[in-house]
A = this chain, B = another copy of it.
Amino acid sequence: MSSDAAADRAVHGPDEPLTIGEMSRRTGVAPSALHFYESLGLIASTRTAGNQRRYARHMLRRVSLITVAKRLGIPLSDVQDAFADVPLTQTPSHDDWQRASRRWKRELEKRREGIERLERELTGCIGCGCLSMKACGLLNPDDALGSQGAGPQRLRDEDA
Chain A 93-132 interface residues, beta-carbon cutoff 8 Å to B: 94, 97-98, 100-102, 104-105, 108-109, 111-112, 114-116, 118-119, 122-123, 125-126, 129-131
The interface of chain A, by Cβ under 8 A from chain B, is 5, 14-15, 25-29, 57, 60-61, 64-65, 67-68, 71-74, 94, 97-98, 100-102, 104-105, 108-109, 111-112, 114-116, 118-119, 122-123, 125-126, 129-131, 133, 138-139, 141, 144-145, 147, 149-153, 155-156, 158-159
**Cβ B67 vs Cβ A152 within 8 A:** yes
Known A-B contacts: A25-B153, A115-B115. Give 19 more (CB < 8 A): A14-B156, A14-B159, A28-B150, A57-B159, A60-B133, A61-B133, A61-B139, A64-B152, A68-B138, A71-B144, A72-B115, A98-B126, A98-B129, A101-B125, A101-B131, A104-B122, A108-B122, A112-B115, A112-B116
A72 to chain B, nearest CB (A): 6
- Contact, CB under 8 Å: A64 / B138: yes
Interface SS of A by simple majority: helix
Q: In the complex, A72 Cα to B72 Cα: how many Å?
A: 9
